[in-house]
Structure 1
């Protein structure tokens, strides 16, 4: 069995096919835009590599040997398959791709569940999601559009608020039953609280701010679990390990499904939120514009 390195070059098989079909090296050279000596040289090299004669030279032409007939049939079939595949690839509409930069929480809890809707509407646009655990560095990333949490001030970039920051405590139904009396903030600190660490939560409302915005003095909880990843914090809340802060609309689907319960009495809102961030230097392409229209809708 021939290895890949022992297979003859495609060019020599194309020259063989033309020569065998036309039974003339001169006619093959004319069809392929080369010279008769070049065709003869390629055929001799192919015969040498295979160790058999493919043509019998006769007066004013050539005829195929038995080996030549076998090779011609297979070569013509293979070249036709190759032409068909290349034609399909050439005719296939070119996919357009856009890169969206955001944080893990927004990508996992808001964007991913909704993306199938965008894909149904725009089958010709591929989406690449680029996530970051910490604050996204707009200068270093190569994204067409970013969806970032903050105050909307990004020097050198255009920003438009997509979603406001609305925050409320959330927990599992099981934990709510265990701590039945959660009617005021003082009751909350008797339950284990789930906290996003300072690096990730410095722009987000934290427990202390929640208390302040509810005109109440913050009291450290008896038990606190700290996380540097909001998706882990949400999973801990779902499994009943404590009360976490839920951001609209990141946890809305969990509340609708009943795996989390909100405590709306302590709901607060800030001026921050998720912003669509775009370059000032470059106008949105058609795919980006379609994605932005879908986001805002």
Structure 2
């Protein structure tokens, strides 16, 4: 029931009004509602009396909305549409629970997507929605259940670590054959490098990489700069230069022979990918199963690292 100063308006009266306003006909409204024209007219009359305003103007062979009627019609339609969407979502959730994951495009493309079919086989009744963000992760005002994001050392003190940041140069076999050997920092600084625009994130860049490894420093300009890691990797595969490879993301490309990992120049930091339960106060079987599955995948990989 909707309470007004002058009384109580029933949801049924609002439904009758919406139907009559949509058809601009009491007769057609009665037909849709399987009622009578007089019953529809009575509902409208009662509603107008409660509001103290006319909602329809009676014209020859029909009715038209007054200004007040038009305002109420738009409001009621929005309200019914919201209720219908909510009921549909609740019904869908009951039949097929959904869990929403937020991560960056690189992790989604190179780690999550190749493994997701395994989750779907185990839990075919759970719908998984993947949302990606190129910039710093932001799940405010978004329907996010789980976030897999690159975290600095401080953030990793409070969330599970999936794998730490371990990087090493990667290039195509043909590029290595043409420019190799590439086992020293000085030589690496002299060849075309592919850079990633980290957009305020804490991913490692070439300047910091050279500094942390204690080299002479990298003062040059990268051959190409990308704001998308998958494009950078494609450029490396195409032999356009040396990119930075993150262990855990490029492993399958190295195993498949598409890239060569120069792991003698590997560097490990205290950063890495963390697994975040964005809304821990909201419990549900779908989210719990997804979190457990992600952690089990990582545990299996740590126990049996790629050869």
Which band: TM-score by shorter chain?
Answer: 0.5 to 0.7
Q: Which residue of 1 aligns with 2:17?
A: none
Is the partner of 1:98 in helix, strand or coil? Answer: strand
Give the equivalent residue in structure 2 for 1:193: 193
Return the TM-score normalized by structure 1. Answer: 0.66
Which runs of no fewer than 5 residues in structure 2 stay unpaired?
1-22, 40-90, 297-307
1:224 to partner: Cα distance: 2.2
Partner SS for 1:148:
strand
Distance 1:185 1:266 in 2: 8
The C-alpha deviation readout for 1:258-293, integer Å capped at 9, x for no partner, is 100000111011111110112365143111110011
Question: Larger Cα Rg: Structure 1 or Structure 2?
Answer: 1
| Higher alpha-carbon deviation: 225-234 or 191-200 | 191-200
1:235 equivalent to 2:226? Answer no
What is the aligned-residue RMSD (CA, Å)?
3.1
Q: Which runs of 4+ in 1 moved over 3 A?
A: 152-155
Deviation of 1:137 (Å): 1.0
Query: Is the CA contact (8 Å cut-off) linking 2:167 and 2:266 kept in structure 1?
Result: yes
| 1:172-218 alpha-carbon deviations (Å, 9 max, x no partner) | 00100110221201111221100112525x40111122212222121
Residue 203 of structure 2 corresponds to which residue in structure 1? 204
CA distance in 2: counterparts of 1:211 and 1:154, whole angstroms? 24
Q: Once the two structures are superposed, what CA deviation does each residue of 1:230-253 show, in whole Å capped at 9, x if it has no partner?
A: 111111111111000001111111
Q: 1:1-297 alignment to 2 at 5 Å?
A: 94-151=95-152, 153=154, 159-199=159-199, 202-221=201-220, 224-279=223-278, 282-297=281-296
CA distance in 2, matches of 1:255, 1:216: 26
- Any gaps of 5 or more consecutive residues in structure 1? 16-33, 39-89
Q: Quick one: distance in 2 between partners of 1:270 and 1:108?
A: 23
Match in the other structure for 2:80: none
Q: Distance in 2 between matches of 1:183 and 1:160?
A: 34
| Equivalent in the alignment of 1:24 | none
Residues 51-85 of structure 1: per-residue CA shift (max 9 Å, x gap):
xxxxxxxxxxxxxxxxxxxxxxxxxxxxxxxxxxx
Question: In structure 1, how many angstroms separate the alpha carbons of the residues matched to 2:206 and 2:285?
Answer: 42
For the residue of structure 1 that corresponds to 2:106, the secondary structure is helix
Alignment partners' CA distance in 1, 2:199 and 2:287: 31
Are the aligned partners of 1:172 and 1:259 in contact in 2 as well (CA < 8 Å)? yes
Q: Is the 8 A contact 2:172 2:258 kept in 1?
A: yes
Distance 1:188 1:154 in 2: 32
TM-score by length of 2: 0.64
1:129-154 residue CA offsets vs partner (Å, 9 max, x unmatched): 01111011132322011001012655
Q: Partners in 2 of 1:163 and 1:284 — Cα distance? A: 25
Of 107-116 and 131-140, deviating more is 131-140
